[in-house]
Amino acid sequence: MKYLLPFLLLALTGCKAQQFTQAGAAQGVQVSYRWKHAPGKPSELLLKMVNSSDSARSVHVGLDLYDQGRTVEQFTADTCMRARRTMNGRLNGFYFIPTTVTPEQAAGPDVKVELTELEVTPVVQCP
């Protein structure tokens, strides 16, 4: 019984979800990403955006996907974020499904993601 608690803690930390990788920040908005590789499905690039400021922000994000140093796909997203809000992956519709990169390639070391555009503009409120 005394070994059960440490075993459960170790098992739970081993099942921890993949962490997001910080991509960039501007004017109180942080952008990060992570890959989701579900068996038998295309890979998804999930975005997480956090507006830590006290006012709403209009956000334009541009990401490039590189395979072996070559740009193979480009993604863009535009949104308005209310103050102190987080937009997360599939939950808020911020994800991309690559069409030129296979799931095996996306999971490998040759595919890189780079934040190429981050335009943040303060706004009075979001529509």
| CATH classification at residue 23 | 2.60.40
Average pLDDT value for residue range 84-91: 92
Say if 107 falls within a structural domain: yes
Domain count, the chain: 1
Tens digits of per-residue pLDDT, 24-52? Answer: 999 999 999 999 999 999 999 999 999 99
Say if 35 falls within a structural domain: yes
Say if 68 falls within a structural domain: yes
Average pLDDT value for residue range 76-85: 96
Q: Would you state the pLDDT for residue 10? A: 46
Q: Which domain covers residue 98, as residue numbers?
A: 19-122
Percent of the chain topping pLDDT 70: 87
**Does position 8 have pLDDT exceeding 80, yes or no?**
no
Average pLDDT value for residue range 63-80: 96
Say if 127 falls within a structural domain: no
What 3-state DSSP class applies to 56? coil
Average pLDDT value for residue range 100-119: 95
Q: Would you state the pLDDT for residue 18? A: 72
d(CA 28, CA 46): 20
**Does position 15 have pLDDT exceeding 60, yes or no?**
no
Say if 111 falls within a structural domain: yes
d(CA 100, CA 66): 11
Residue 17's pLDDT band (boundaries 50, 70, 90)? low
Structural contact between residues 90 and 24, judged by C-beta atoms closer than 8 angstroms? no
Say if 73 falls within a structural domain: yes
**Does position 57 have pLDDT exceeding 90, yes or no?**
yes
Q: Would you state the pLDDT for residue 1? A: 52
Say if 8 falls within a structural domain: no
Say if 13 falls within a structural domain: no
Alpha helices in the chain (DSSP H): 4-14, 103-107
Q: What are phi and psi of 119, to 5 degrees?
A: -110, 120
